[in-house]
Structure 1
Amino acid sequence: MCARATGRMGCVISISRGRRLPPWNNRSWSKVSMMICERWVPSRRPAKKKTKASHPFERRPRTVMWVALSLLAVLSGNQLLATPADAPALPELPRLALDKSLPEVRAAVKEAYDAVMAHPRDASANGKLGMVLHAHSFPADAEVCYRRAHLLDPASFRWIYYLALVEMDQAKCNDAVPAFREGLRIDPDYLPAQLRSGECLLASSDWDDAGKLYESLVQKHPNSAESHYGMGRVHAARNQWSEAVASFRKACELFPKFASAHFALARAYQRAGKTDQVREEMRLSRESEGALPEIDDRLLVEVQLLYRDYEAYLKLGTELGGEGKLADAAAAYEEALGINPRLSEAEARLIYLYTRLGQPAKAEEHFRAAIRLDPKKSDAYFNYGVLLQGLGKHKEAEEAFRKALEANPRYAEAHNNQAYLLEGQGKMPEAVAELRKALESSPEFPQAQFSLGRILVKQGNYQEGIQHLLKALSVQDESSKASYLYAVSVAYAGVGDVENGVRYLRLARVKAAARNDSKLLGSIGEDLRLLGGEESPY
């Protein structure tokens, strides 16, 4: 079995072992494409029983297809198709199960397949079909096509290299190692092939050949963290722990976020009985969150550029945005739009992301695109309103929120933001009305609860105001919780309930201290002194 290719089999990105590179970097695999394959690998369907049909989109008997091709050749004035006597025998083209694929994916595969059917002994056509299948996680089918391309053009490094990659991707390192070796005889200096060959040798426990390879690599490429890491693994397998420590440390120096190298170094330190270093390296491994150094692989980039599954990019953008990785999320949505430019949802999300990233021109551009696609896209208007509000364009922001509410009258966030603008104009009754509408649509909306409670307390309606403020404490955003607790304490103090005032001040102080909010801590300290609350450490 091929170590480190397992767990992501069927996904071209597993070869890159999840390297996270900028999507505009033309030197290696796109970050967003790699993240997609890190997170989701489509479930493998059992191979269907072969039939006599030879085209994935037409279920005609093969004889009918060949007759059609022959007639086409005659009508075009060419000779009938013939195979030279010394031409290599080719494996049969795969039958493809694409019924669950997106139309864009099916179209890309069909175009490449049709080119092979028209020119079955053209190496480039066969290889291109392999690349399309490779890009969309059909490694077994891609393997057949790459093998055909290699047999037709054995002098090409590209096809034998791609063949080795998909074999490695399927944990078939016993097949991949000879393919890598054959490729390296054609292009002995292609570093990605050398590194991936090394991974297969390590996975196959071929320590001697792996050792020779990595010794050569650390000499030729002393700044390659991967090479030093591989050398360290060879030393560890041979129980050469001092040498392993030196190699792993060098790998970590060259790429400080190298999670696997930190983990391997921790194990080496453990063998050496160095407990303190073990804890430190385990901590660094955890904090690195699986990061790995990139392998600059221009050939793999060419496969990535054929990827057409925009839904995977949309899903990835949503996940990355939820994790706070805004630039990566924006790149994912941009990739989706590159495949399908009519995705209004992606346009709307990019308004929000570019607003948060401080790129108002790009946010504006995507707003215009979103409403061209869907003039009633409520979240596009809302996100644009947030952009305008942040730029101090309150009148334009109010208009954007109004249009969002015209498209979706139950848009709680739009009611809330409209209330904020109305409050700023001193229109308190209108602001309260908007907040009540927000809570009708979303009763558990903490921000609306807080804003309504704060206004009601300011108006002297303490009883109802405090109830809304208490409900606001359900907020999950820890950055807001200290301020919400402080507002509750002030409200209780306003009605003379000193006990609860002091209680919530102390709770607010804990949250503020956890976030090192010195300004809020100062206000809490002054109020505690005024209320006579103790000031001992919490």
Structure 2
Amino acid sequence: MRFRRLKSPVPAGRRLLPVPALILLPLLACVPGVLLADALSALSPRWQGQLVPVPETDVSGAEPLMQQGLSAARAEVAALLAEPEADSDALAAAYGRLGALLLLLEVEAPADACLRNAMALQPDAFRWPYYAGYLAMLAGNLEQALAYLHTAQAIDAEYAPLYLRLGKVRLDRSELEQARAAFERVRDVPALLAPAHYYLGQIALLERRHADAVDLLQTALAAHPDATEVHYPLAQAYRALGQADLARDHLAQFELRAPDIADPLLAELQAANRRALPAFKRAVHAVRGGDYAGAAEEFEAGLAVDPDNAAARISHARVLYLTGRPEAAAAELDAALQRDPEQALGHFLQGVLAQQRGATHDAAAAYERALALAPDHAGALFQRANLDFSAGRYAQAAAAYGRLIELDAAVAPARVLALVAARRAGAAEATVLAKLQSLATAHPEDPQAGYALARGLAAAEQTDLRDIDRALRLAAELALTRPGPAHQQLLAFVQAAAGRWDSAVETQQRLLAMAGWARRPAAEIEAMQQALTAYREHRLPGPAWPVDDPLLSPPPFDAARLFREYPATKPY
């Protein structure tokens, strides 16, 4: 579940960084905001060169308590900056207090400036570069995170949780050797056994050392049986080893959550957060930590005081759904929209619930209500387009996907689906294939575009549009770099289109053997067998873009993912 607040949207996967107990001292009385901004953003000559300015921050969207706290924290910094003999430790702590509040408001650049100033004033203090590195890691600024964490390491190389942070940054940068070295350093620390082995298991999986991955991940699970995040990579490892039953068992136990890391410094932050934040803010923090049950309790507490807060009711509905209470979630969405019918997110989520229960007409109507209120609502556009596509309303689907691409060209499935829908709506094959070739060239990382193009070039209805050589290259590359069943079937199809019937039969037989070994669904195996029969009879099993091809259709509908991950610009 993603929330965005104020002027700095929180990237996907971010969690809110809490406030250190160490620096939550009584705040000074508020002074006018303009004076605080002048004092901190326009440093006096005495501090120029030593400190960096902290620009004024727009906090108009924050709760009054948070606005008051920020003003008081800035007042304290301003007062200390004005003292003739300022105490460096006191000023560092004051900048830390201000940075902590800015972190709560999710304005990263000013928060980073505060922590940099704290580091400049207390260069031997470990916590400031450590907090700054942790913040940069969560924000996805991996190079900056690495620099800060190395600074912290130079101050105190014995703080064990530091190596989990360093390892995670290295892992996110795909620097597997350096990541492994960091995790290995703390793999035997009892309090860090589970997360260290979890990350080491992920590295083994990436390196295709599947047996090692199983051993490492089982060690993580033994150390922390409630670590549900371990089950997904463990299922992947067992599947690669051909142990499909174990893979299914672990996949069924998987729940997305961040690893628990025993980190005393961050524990101080979290403890302070619980004391300092109002109920809705605590709820958002619980969401970021994956504690949906705790978030539901906090939203309920906040709504008892502020029952007409429609945005908070929508957020409450989301966590109710994520804790297995869809009926309660539906009732809460109804209550939110009764209070504020112009909440586009509420209508969108009503559509998601309707689609989940199979009421596609009601879902489409809800998505239309969301779009009437917010024409650029990407989620409603995409789901509405998917409904049209699945119902065979290809012209409407192509138009909706086109609008979505204009808003956000990074929505990869919409790019290919727009062209598939256009072709099925009657667009010229030559035009569609030309656009698809341009798309595949512009986005070589998009396997769906390569897949669609390979099939189109191999078996275009207009024979003069076919390019068998390029289709073979595309299919072979996908089968090599992404060796899943779909790309193996693609290779067999293109080989058959090229007249290489023996190669197609061999590829399809190999795929069928793997499917039986992996216990693929019976209908899927039957379709593979029919394709094999076609190749043996020297014919293609279908057209270039068959209607039932899952890679040329909307992705499987996932209500839980939408409730969990669709961003909210105003969670309360």
Identify which of structures 1 and 2 has the higher relative contact order when contacts are C-alpha pairs closer than 8 Å and 6+ apart: 2
> Scaled by the length of structure 1, what TM-score is found?
0.45
> Scaled by the length of structure 2, what TM-score is found?
0.43
Rg comparison, structure with higher value: 1
